[in-house]
Structure 1
Amino acid sequence: MLRPWPVSLGDRIDASRDVPLYMQIIQALIRDIERGRLASGTYLPSSRELARVLGVNRKTVVLAYEDLIAQGWLESAGTRGTRVAAALPDPVNRHRSDAEITMSSAVVDYRFAPPPERPIAVSSGPGLKIDEGAPDGRLFPAELLARAYRAAAHRGAQGNGFQYRDPRGSPALREAVATMLKSQRGLPVTAENICITRGSQNGIFLAAQVLVERGDSVVVEELTYEPAVAAFRALGANIVPVGLDEGGIDIEAVEHACRRNAVRAVFVTPHHQFPTTVSMRPERRLRLLDLARRFGFAIIEDDYDHEFHFESQPLLPLASYGPAHVLYVGSLSKLLLPALRIGYVAAPPQVIDAIAHRVSITDGMGNTLTEDAAADLIGSGELRRHGRKVLQVYAKRRESFAAEIDRLFGDLVEYRMPGGGLAFWLRFRTDLDRMEARAAAMGLRLASSRSFMTTGDAPRGLRIGFASLNAYEARTALAALRQAAG
């Protein structure tokens, strides 16, 4: 005589799902045990009987039972059959609802830090996306990347190079980045001054982690890179906005902030200020370094697109003549590919040690294969050759983009031709709130003008990338933006 079976699994086992049948049986039985519908010591039907009821092969049920016994949910009672393990706790206080709970439908009853109401990144999905200055990944030769990966994989396999390693990053890439920064940007660095990160944003966050404690103040410009501000706020920093103009950050305002606050860091993008694209003048750079010495704060210098300049040679980074006071953050995303997520921080060795410790407890280590492939591309000169080629493409796109802006917008927009970088800063003589709402309704996706603002009265504008768009895409994007402007 069959034992009475307290639950039915039939309505939860479905061969059309992409989950294997034996795994569906395991999941259903665990849920019933966890919710108290199957109490400790309850005998289950034989594998043959349950297979008949569910309409599955008996081996499927046997496999499910064996896995559950191995995990400790069930136990074999010899000739008496299989039962729920007696050692499981009393189910009296467990949830007894018959409703199926999934990770998506579960009600979270523990404390966690939710995301902000407005996410930082421009959302993905259908519609036309205008970025804030991304490169065109289609221009990088796929075969070149594949060759670099093949070479890195071959060397790694032969030299047992795929094990856990230094959280500072691949030795080959650290050496290549140090050589690049020394020869092309004037930074007095060696490999010991470099920590490889997962992109520049990761580098900014790691730098902030070793500099900022809750309650410390970080000075930023009134228009700036929102993800950096979000990183500082996540660490409990007090954000102190200061003004900027055509010469860059307002140095008097920085000094005033230092006299009134416990400033631990100043975040700047001096090469091509984000989002306005202006370059910080040399005299302001020197004065900012002088303030760092006097007040004991660190400068986080985000040099996110140093490689792209169209009208003159770029100014040397602050870190090239103030290495003791600057954490220099850079990236290969603009020159190589954003999807590879390769950034770096250059700083004194003791600071790099602190950053590497943070890497070790959050990421463990980076991606050795990708980092070694990137080192190959730098060492072989391929990355520099690619940079020269795309610079010519982007220079033409910049000119065409400006001409299209003039044709479509006329006096409706104010801008200046960016001397470098991959984006324009556009100031509109129209209601921006209305314009952005209409753009969103049309399926146009772009970063909100308010996302760049750290104060309510900061000058408003839109940062519009041109490099990732071919001629047709640029015309389409700007035409849609013009239509949204009314």
Structure 2
Amino acid sequence: MNSPAEIPFKNVILLDRLSGTAVYLQIAHQMINAIQRGVLVSGVKLPGTRPLAEMLGVHRKTVVAAYNELDAQGWIEILPNSGTFVAKRIQVGDLVTLPFDTKNLVSYPKQAGYSFERSMLLDRPVSLSKVELEFTDGLPDVRLAPMERLAKAYSSVLKRKNNRKYLSYSHVEGNIYFRGKLADYLNNTRGLHIGSNNIITTRGIQMGIYLASMLLIKKGDHVVVGNLSYYVANMIFQQAGAQIASVPVDDQGISVEAVRKLCETTRIRMLYITPHHHYPTTVTLSAERRVELLNLSIQYRFIILEDDHDYDFHYNSSPVLPLASADGAGMVVYVGSFCKAMAPGLRAGYIVAPENLILELGKLRRIIDRQGDLMMEQALGELLDEGEIQRHIKKAQKVYHHRRDLFGELLENHLSNFLTFKTPPGGLAIWTEWRKDINLMRISKACLKQNLHLPQTLLFQTENLSAMRLGFGSMDENELEESIHVLKNVLEKNV
């Protein structure tokens, strides 16, 4: 049995005077750690409070407090006239011969001690950077979001006497008030004909795609996407066990004829589309093709998963209504969010579908996110009722329209020797096609050295394609001009 003198407590207990954790708790936690790892074995006698205080350079009362904490948790036994001992009932198995390795005592294991399945499907090429300028794939400018008004609404909800219903567990598919106001909003802006029972709230579009995929797709099902398509959605479909088939996309959107030919030979379970502004090429699905796709879905009984990620931003004319607005057969599952309209960090999304599917989606969502943020949804519902969100979108649309035009001018005036593009009718990004002799990854790395981040997810370069999806919405006029200036300098030096 180890004696107190044999245990190097100065190595077992390392105190951090700058830590926010009280010193007595640091001592207690590290002694618990040593007991769990077998360094301090069951029944070993611990030093008295004075000797340990001297060893650690702390006040005796600090050690007393630490011992009291250990005693309260059952790790030690304080026996009158005998001393303090590690509790005899503590058993740590056979692994009690670990060396006195300080790193083992104060750090968490880097690797799991058990095997588990790893998914290459979910690997996402995310590259983070702290530089000031960054092109996104079409994110909004959070500086435009009505945060002050939202903060007031949220604070008001918090202060109300009846807020208990928002702070307790719920068994519904999101805040009922918000779903009602959201249904009115979607009916007015998207030509839908829905009620609150046709909506389930989510933490954004990705969660909506995930829930729909987990419920509606079985292993081996065929899912059709455009070529190119949203890579996150593709990952979700594959994780659900789907086989993905891609069909061409042209200036009128996804090819209906290609979908029809595929249906003639293959049983299709789902078609995923971003019809308002196709991701990543930004083209709008024509009204004629929308009707044809709906008819095909009825004929061949496949689900249309309609991702309407930036419906609110259309500049040249009135937006084309979503397929869900003309769905009379219950074939469309419509997903959207306020992440583009407000700010990505708010994570306020929704799924619109027939009521029986919403009820089943609710069962699935409750096991990963029981009810969503009822408090935030209440605040957003009130902003919808007051017209605040609608006014914000109208103001933001004017700003983004101006930025789109400016960005197009900058691309044409400074980079026309390197790329071509078509001005999109809406959205927050421009699809640019580049000369085949330009290495986009090399350009991205060179831009980073000059304070401009071009994430890998924006680059599309294969043997037959060289393109970038460049978001303009998150930058103001000066930032757009500076970014193009950096990009031009890099291209002139590297091409």
Q: In structure 2, what is the equivalent of residue 435 of structure 1?
A: 443
Letter of the 1:349 counterpart: E
Measured after TM superposition, the shift of residue 174 of structure 1 is 0.6
Comparing 115-124 and 319-328, the one that deviates more: 115-124
Q: Cα distance 1:147–1:18, how it changes in 2: closer, same or farther (>3 A)?
A: closer
Structure-2 separation of matches of 1:118 and 1:437: 21
Map Cα deviations across residues 273-314 of structure 1 (whole Å, 9 max, x no partner): 111111111222122222222332211111011111111111
Map Cα deviations across residues 81-114 of structure 1 (whole Å, 9 max, x no partner): 2221212225432461332235555332323455
Q: 1:446 aligns with which of 454, 461, 481?
A: 454
Measured after TM superposition, the shift of residue 408 of structure 1 is 0.8
Q: In structure 2, what is the equivalent of residue 388 of structure 1?
A: 394
Q: In structure 1, what is the equivalent of residue 25 of structure 2?
A: 23
* 2:244 is aligned with 1:236: no
Contact 2:444–2:453 (8 Å) recurs in 1: no
Contact 2:459–2:469 (8 Å) recurs in 1: no
Q: 1:227 aligns with which of 216, 226, 232?
A: 232
Secondary structure in 2 matching 1:309: coil
Map Cα deviations across residues 302-353 of structure 1 (whole Å, 9 max, x no partner): 1011111111111111111115011100111111222211011001112111
* 2:222 is aligned with 1:206: no
Comparing 237-246 and 399-408, the one that deviates more: 237-246
Measured after TM superposition, the shift of residue 133 of structure 1 is 1.2
Contact 2:205–2:335 (8 Å) recurs in 1: yes
Contact 1:120–1:227 (8 Å) recurs in 2: no
Q: In structure 2, what is the equivalent of residue 473 of structure 1?
A: 479
Measured after TM superposition, the shift of residue 421 of structure 1 is 0.8
Structure-2 separation of matches of 1:3 and 1:411: 79
Structure-1 separation of matches of 2:366 and 2:207: 13
Q: Cα distance 1:10–1:4, how it changes in 2: closer, same or farther (>3 A)?
A: closer
When normalised by structure 1's length, the TM-score is 0.92
Comparing 103-112 and 84-93, the one that deviates more: 103-112
Map Cα deviations across residues 169-224 of structure 1 (whole Å, 9 max, x no partner): 11111111111111211112100011111111111111111111222222111111
Map Cα deviations across residues 125-147 of structure 1 (whole Å, 9 max, x no partner): 33521111111111223321222
Structure-1 separation of matches of 2:262 and 2:91: 59
* 2:345 is aligned with 1:339: yes
Q: Cα distance 1:375–1:20, how it changes in 2: closer, same or farther (>3 A)?
A: same
Q: How many residue pairs align between the two structures?
A: 483
Structure-1 separation of matches of 2:22 and 2:383: 43
Q: In structure 1, what is the equivalent of residue 419 of structure 2?
A: 413
Measured after TM superposition, the shift of residue 246 of structure 1 is 0.8
Structure-2 separation of matches of 1:97 and 1:401: 63
State the identity %: 35
Q: Cα distance 1:260–1:103, how it changes in 2: closer, same or farther (>3 A)?
A: farther
* 2:113 is aligned with 1:109: yes
Q: 2:375 aligns with which of 369, 376, 390?
A: 369
Q: 1:270 aligns with which of 244, 269, 275?
A: 275
Q: In structure 2, what is the equivalent of residue 8 of structure 1?
A: 8
Matches within 5 A, 1:61-140: 61-94=63-96, 96-99=98-101, 100-101=103-104, 106-114=110-118, 116=120, 119-140=124-145
Q: Cα distance 1:160–1:362, how it changes in 2: closer, same or farther (>3 A)?
A: closer
Q: In structure 1, what is the equivalent of residue 48 of structure 2?
A: 46
Contact 2:434–2:467 (8 Å) recurs in 1: yes
Comparing 116-125 and 251-260, the one that deviates more: 116-125
Secondary structure in 1 matching 2:269: strand
Contact 1:448–1:462 (8 Å) recurs in 2: no
Matches within 5 A, 1:397-408: 397-408=403-414
Q: Cα distance 1:214–1:71, how it changes in 2: closer, same or farther (>3 A)?
A: farther
Map Cα deviations across residues 454-477 of structure 1 (whole Å, 9 max, x no partner): xx6664411111122111100111
Structure-1 separation of matches of 2:347 and 2:394: 21
Comparing 402-411 and 259-268, the one that deviates more: 259-268
Structure-1 separation of matches of 2:168 and 2:287: 45
Secondary structure in 2 matching 1:366: coil
Structure-2 separation of matches of 1:312 and 1:154: 43
Structure-2 separation of matches of 1:157 and 1:52: 55
Contact 1:242–1:250 (8 Å) recurs in 2: yes
Letter of the 2:157 counterpart: A
Letter of the 2:5 counterpart: W
When normalised by structure 2's length, the TM-score is 0.91
Structure-2 separation of matches of 1:259 and 1:188: 32
Secondary structure in 1 matching 2:178: helix
Q: In structure 2, what is the equivalent of residue 328 of structure 1?
A: 334
Comparing 107-116 and 348-357, the one that deviates more: 107-116
Contact 2:183–2:196 (8 Å) recurs in 1: yes
Structure-2 separation of matches of 1:146 and 1:433: 41
Map Cα deviations across residues 439-467 of structure 1 (whole Å, 9 max, x no partner): 345453233367668xx666441111112
Comparing 184-193 and 131-140, the one that deviates more: 131-140
Letter of the 2:76 counterpart: L
Q: Cα distance 1:16–1:170, how it changes in 2: closer, same or farther (>3 A)?
A: same
